[in-house]
């Protein structure tokens, strides 16, 4: 099996009732990122610029790879959930749809055992949180805090199921 076959990816799409400029800001502006992804964020949105998000789950570390204003944001990702810092890549593409934006997420280069968990986190927390934030609603918790709570409850359930 080659290294490429060893890796998995997540692909999701969501419609956000906000202009691409607003969604783009929520992917590049540290203040906006703090509203939905993590409690502490460092974002230098330029190729090679640092991307770091810290919360209850731990610290995600990476670097911006591509930044096209109001259209595309790509950064490396890792440091949590059995993914080494910078091991995987997250790509957001933004497409105007009237006064809304179609956001396409592609998270690739993931170790195969982590794909389903990342899929669930992006589906149930990440994209929901960015949608809320970009549409002007304050999310109740960040994506990383929700993911940590989910991991904690799953561990408790597994421990109970295993008689621990």
What tens digit of pLDDT does each residue of 120-132 get? Answer: 999 999 999 999 9
Residue 103, beta-bridge partner list: 14, 94
d(CA 104, CA 79): 23
7-159 classified as CATH 3.40.47.10: no
Q: Which of 51-60, 93-102, 108-117 has the lowest mean pLDDT?
A: 51-60
- 67 secondary structure, DSSP code: E
- H or E, element range at 130: helix 127-134
Angstrom distance (rounded) from CA 79 to CA 85: 4
- Supply the pLDDT for residue 55: 86
Query: Domains of the chain: which residue ranges?
Result: 7-159
Residue 26 has what pLDDT? 97
Mean pLDDT value across residues 34-57: 94
Asked if residue 92 lies in contact with residue 27, where contact means CB atoms within 8 angstroms, the answer is yes
Mean pLDDT of 29-58: 94
Q: How confident is the model at residue 57 (pLDDT cuts 50, 70, 90)?
A: confident
Q: What is the mean pLDDT of residues 16-38?
A: 96
């Amino acid at each position: 099996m080659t290294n490429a076959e060893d890796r998995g990816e997540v692909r999701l799409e969501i419609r956000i009732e906000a202009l691409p400029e607003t969604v783009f800001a929520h992917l590049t502006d540290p203040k906006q990122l703090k509203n939905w992804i993590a409690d502490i964020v460092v974002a230098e949105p330029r190729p090679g610029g640092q991307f770091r998000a810290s919360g209850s789950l731990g610290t995600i570390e990476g670097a911006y790879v591509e930044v096209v204003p109001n259209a595309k944001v790509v950064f490396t990702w890792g440091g949590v959930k059995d993914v080494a810092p910078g091991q995987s890549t997250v790509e957001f593409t933004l497409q105007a749809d009237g006064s809304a934006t179609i956001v396409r997420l592609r998270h690739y280069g993931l170790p195969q055992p982590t794909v389903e968990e990342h899929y669930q986190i992006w589906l149930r927390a990440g994209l929901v949180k960015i949608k809320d934030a970009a549409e002007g609603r304050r999310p109740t918790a960040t994506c990383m805090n929700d993911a940590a709570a989910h991991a904690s409850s799953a561990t408790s359930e597994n421990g109970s199921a295993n008689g621990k």
